């Protein structure tokens, strides 16, 4: 595995691989790697591919008072995990090289970026889209891999690619979970053991909500209430920020009956640690898929 910190060197290496007929696969991360990140690399593996992983804690997607300074950083362990997983090129830039001058042009996702996470974290998705757009322009990948775990992020990135005509295909990778259902996240290390035990209630609640859908429940309010009740019952240390059933194309709240593809999403804070999770509901006539 080769490691580069210079964006122009990254561009040159990706471009050489492309000229040699290799496909270029990009896995963007903020590091503190866990099995969820490695599942993205696994999905990116194909013959003769150059797998590029970026590892960059992007300051512009953190708001004031958020955890940018204390975000877990474990570069040595990340290098080993990335190499073992099959990453060919690790990009670990400094903030000053990704943002060499005060940023004057931003990629801002309008309404999609203002609901759910965006409501609590104004500007978050502008930071995400801007850094992902930079990475796409530097690497010019054939495909880029994102986790379902950050469901809104995936929807926003897909919209950016469509609306700005990026020649990149976006691949969604299913959420990797602990054995009790908690979605893996770099932020899980912040949890005390008591909070950690209770945090599994988030996925349990979402499961309970989608189970009801499976059994015919279609009223958003009732589905959301079921999720809330499980989280309130099993995670008294958690504070629910939202439990929302939204359309998976527009992220608008589903007002009446559920009859189109939807995302059941939740955000819960344990002390200063905010965790998110979601399940996707696909409705195709009478056929229902939940994942």
User: Which tokens in the block code for residue 9?
Assistant: 């060197």
Burial of 193 (0-12, 13-18, 19+ CB in 10 A): exposed
Question: DSSP states of 21-90 as a string?
Answer: T-EEEEEEE-SS--HHHHHHHHHH--TTEEEEEEE---GGGS-TTSSTTTS---HHHHHHHHHHHT-SEE
| Alpha-carbon gap, residue 198 to 193, rounded angstroms | 9
Q: Choose which of 22, 79, 124, 149 interacts with ligand AMP (CB under 6 A).
A: 149
| Alpha-carbon gap, residue 95 to 44, rounded angstroms | 26
Given 37, 215, 256, 287, the catalytic residue: 37
| 8-state DSSP, 258 | -
Say whether residue 41 binds ligand AMP (CB under 6 A). Answer: no
Binding segment for ligand AMP (CB under 6 A), chosen from 28-36, 88-96, 98-106, 262-270, is 28-36
Say whether residue 199 binds ligand AMP (CB under 6 A). Answer: no
Q: Choose which of 186, 188, 248, 273 interacts with ligand AMP (CB under 6 A).
A: 186
Residue 263, CB half-sphere, CA atoms under 13 Å: how many? 23
Say whether residue 277 binds ligand AMP (CB under 6 A). Answer: no
Q: Which CB atom, from 83 or from 283, has the smaller least distance to ligand AMP?
A: 83
Q: Taking the complex as a whole, how short is the minimal distance between the CB of residue 80 and ligand AMP, in angstroms?
A: 17
**Active-site residue 287, yes or no?**
no
β-pairing verdict for 262-270 and 238-247: antiparallel
β-pairing verdict for 23-29 and 143-147: parallel
Q: Choose which of 22, 37, 124, 134 interacts with ligand AMP (CB under 6 A).
A: 37
Q: Choose which of 150, 161, 226, 264 interacts with ligand AMP (CB under 6 A).
A: 150
Say whether residue 147 binds ligand AMP (CB under 6 A). Answer: yes
Say whether residue 183 binds ligand AMP (CB under 6 A). Answer: yes
Site residues (CB under 6 A) for ligand AMP? 29-30, 36-37, 39-40, 146-147, 149-150, 173, 175-176, 183-186
Catalytic residues: 37
């Amino acid at each position: 595995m080769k490691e580069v910190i210079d964006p122009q060197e990254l561009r040159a290496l990706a471009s050489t691989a492309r000229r040699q007929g290799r496909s270029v696969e990009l896995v963007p991360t903020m590091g503190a790697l866990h099995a969820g990140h490695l599942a993205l690399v696994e999905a990116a593996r194909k013959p003769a591919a150059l797998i590029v992983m970026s590892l960059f804690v992007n300051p512009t997607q953190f708001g004031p008072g958020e955890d940018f300074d204390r975000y877990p950083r474990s570069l040595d362990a990340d290098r080993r995990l990335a190499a073992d997983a099959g990453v060919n090129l690790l990009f670990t830039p400094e903030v000053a090289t990704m943002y060499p001058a005060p940023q004057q042009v931003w990629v801002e996702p309008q309404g999609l970026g203002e609901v759910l996470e965006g409501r609590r974290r104004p500007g978050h998705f502008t930071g995400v889209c801007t850094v992902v757009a930079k990475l796409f322009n530097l690497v010019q990948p054939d495909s880029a891999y994102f986790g379902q775990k950050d469901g809104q992020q995936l929807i926003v990135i897909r919209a950016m690619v469509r609306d700005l005509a990026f020649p990149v295909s976006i691949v969604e990778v299913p959420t990797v979970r602990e054995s009790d259902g908690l979605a893996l996240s770099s932020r899980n290390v912040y949890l005390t053991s008591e909070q950690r035990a209770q945090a599994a209630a988030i996925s349990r609640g979402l499961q309970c909500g989608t189970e009801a859908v499976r059994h015919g429940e279609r009223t958003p309010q009732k589905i959301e209430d079921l999720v809330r009740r499980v989280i309130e019952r099993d995670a008294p240390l958690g504070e629910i920020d939202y439990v929302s059933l939204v359309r998976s194309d527009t992220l608008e709240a589903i007002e009446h009956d559920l009859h189109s593809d939807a995302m059941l999403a939740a955000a819960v804070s344990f002390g200063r640690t905010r965790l998110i999770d979601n399940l996707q509901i696909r409705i195709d006539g009478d056929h229902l898929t939940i994942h």
